[in-house]
Amino acid sequence: MSRGVAVETVEVYEDPLDLMDEIDALKRDRDVTILAHYYVDGEVQDVADFTGDSLKLARDATRVQTSTILFSGVHFMAETAKMLNPDKTVLLPDLLAGCSLAESCTAEALETRQDQLRAQGLDFQTVAYINTSAAVKSLCDWIVTSGNAREVIEDKVPSEKDILFVPDRHLGRYLQEVTGREMILWPGSCMVHEVFSLQDLNRARRNNPDAVVISHPECPRNILEVSDFIGGTEAMRREVVSVEAPTTFLVATEANMIHALEQSAPRHSFVPVPGIMASTGETCACNRCPHMALNTLAAVRDCLRDGTPEITWQPFFESAREVVTRSLLE
């Protein structure tokens, strides 16, 4: 009988400061601009030329002057950068950096649902949160972010039309409340925002009685109901900047957002709201997005050095770009 040999993978430690220097040099050498989402590690945000939420980064992507964009975020964000910059090379450090929310709504499933609703005689428009694949975007009438969703729904979706909102049911329910429009909701949710625990949030409030709770609208209703401020990541950042007196904020969104908040308003304290593990009911650090976490400094350096993985142009990017442009850029 042969005996298996266990092979241990040893990760070589690389000093973050050395990696940051390497990244700076490679960026200049390879003519690259780095865009980083607020949910990637703080040290990756620090080497980026632009940081922001999905809306800000989509707009920033149209202003890039270099021949290459490295998108430190997840797949649908890099696809958006590519569709807005067909002639540029767009790199993503790890093609496996997906999004549980985007994956809950495939193009095939959306087409089937749209056909069903049409067969029922419904006159509707499809509004998609930006956390969707380019293939899904190409099937939609409007793309929204948490930063502009209310405005798009109120100003652009004709009042006589029904609305199919995909894929985040929590954001969709919140938008129903703030716009007063009934919507058919897709049953998707974000694995990070879904797990915030009201019990732990209440405990954190008891420990910080003067704290202000700021939450992302992707959170479930019970979290939003006890929040003092609800908004996307860029709106959160603007909100804490606008508060003059040093304040403690309890933050219910991906924990790396705290880096961007600390950079923007260092006079405040920021406490992440803990999540709760669905399988065991235990408090966990699951308010970190595992997809965003694939954007390590080493992965960014390797991607710059090797010029891969690259987002390649797909035929449906053309129609997706039209929807993104009229929704977010006009």
CA quadruple 36, 42, 44, 49: dihedral, nearest 10:
50
Site for ligand SF4 in 5-34 (CB under 6 A): none
Task: Rule CB under 6 A: choose which of 48, 58, 69, 74 binds ligand SF4.
Answer: 74
Q: What single-letter DSSP state applies at residue 189?
A: -
Q: At its nearest, how many Å lie between ligand SF4 and the CB of residue 172?
A: 14
Identity of the residue, 100 or 126, whose beta carbon is nearer to ligand SF4 in the bound complex:
100
Contacts of 53 (CB under 8 A, 6+ apart): 37, 38, 145, 146, 147, 232, 233, 234
Residue in 102, 14, 25, 26 with CA at minimum distance from that of residue 292: 102
Q: Fill in the per-residue mask, 107 to 146: x = in contact with ligand SF4 (CB under 6 A), - = not in contact.
A: ------------------------x---------------
**Which of 53, 163, 254, 286 touches ligand SF4 by CB under 6 A?**
254
CA distances to 157, 169, 195 from 176, rounded to whole Å, are 13, 10, 22
| Residue 252 within binding range of ligand SF4, rule CB under 6 A | no
Q: Closer to ligand SF4 by CB, 61 or 292: give it.
A: 292
x-or-dash string of contact with ligand SF4, 194-233, rule CB under 6 A: ----------------------------------------
Amino acid in position 288: R
Q: Kind and range of the H or E element at 205?
A: helix 198-207
Residues that bind ligand SF4 in the complex, under the rule CB under 6 A: 39, 74, 99-101, 131, 190-192, 254, 289, 291-292
